[in-house]
Amino acid sequence: MKAPNNIFKNWNKVCYIRKRLVDETGITLDDYGNEIQNYDEPKKFLLNYQPVTNDADEAILKTYGVTSEGTVKALMDIKYLGELNQYDLAYLYEANPSNEEYDGQFANYRVITAIPQNMKILVYFERLTKI
């Protein structure tokens, strides 16, 4: 018996990604001259994301200078190549961008890296620390 193509879709969860604007319109200044990063509107994705728990993933993360504590990984279809960049904001684990007073107010993760694989993109997210 052949396995259905959507066998892993049962693990997908809703995720929002807010793309960081990197051109001259992406940065504004506050009243004191400090830079404020601007982000595009959030885009909804269905992803199977899981916490990083093995040594192989930890070795990859160390090359980026990141520990695995609070790190999540996901696989995305290759068609989304170029949709994610380093430091884009992510809303994982039922976080939602609706009713934000400013960009990224409710974001709880950010993209560390998006590594193209053969047919997928391996994405690592780092948990944000809120003050």
Q: What is the pLDDT of residues 55-74, one digit of tens each?
A: 666 666 666 666 556 788 88
Q: Kindly give, in sequence order, each residue whose CB lies less than 8 Å from that of residue 60, ignoring residues fewer than 6 positions away.
A: 115, 124
Task: State residue 105's pLDDT score.
Answer: 85
* Structural tokens at position 4: 């259905």
Topology given in CATH for the domain delimited by 9-127: Thrombin, subunit H (2.40.10)
Residue 1 has pLDDT above 50, yes or no: no
Give strand ranges (E) for the chain. Answer: 13-18, 27-29, 35-37, 43-51, 71-77, 89-91, 109-116, 120-127
Task: State residue 94's pLDDT score.
Answer: 86
Question: What are the residue boundaries of the structural domains of the chain, listed by start?
Answer: 9-127
In whole angstroms, give the CA distance from residue 71 to residue 61: 9
Q: What is the pLDDT of residues 101-130, one digit of tens each?
A: 888 888 889 888 888 888 888 888 988 887
Task: Report pTM.
Answer: 0.75
Q: What is the pLDDT of residues 18-48, one digit of tens each?
A: 888 876 665 677 778 777 778 888 899 888 8
Residue 8 has pLDDT above 60, yes or no: no
Residue 6 has pLDDT above 60, yes or no: no
Task: State residue 7's pLDDT score.
Answer: 53
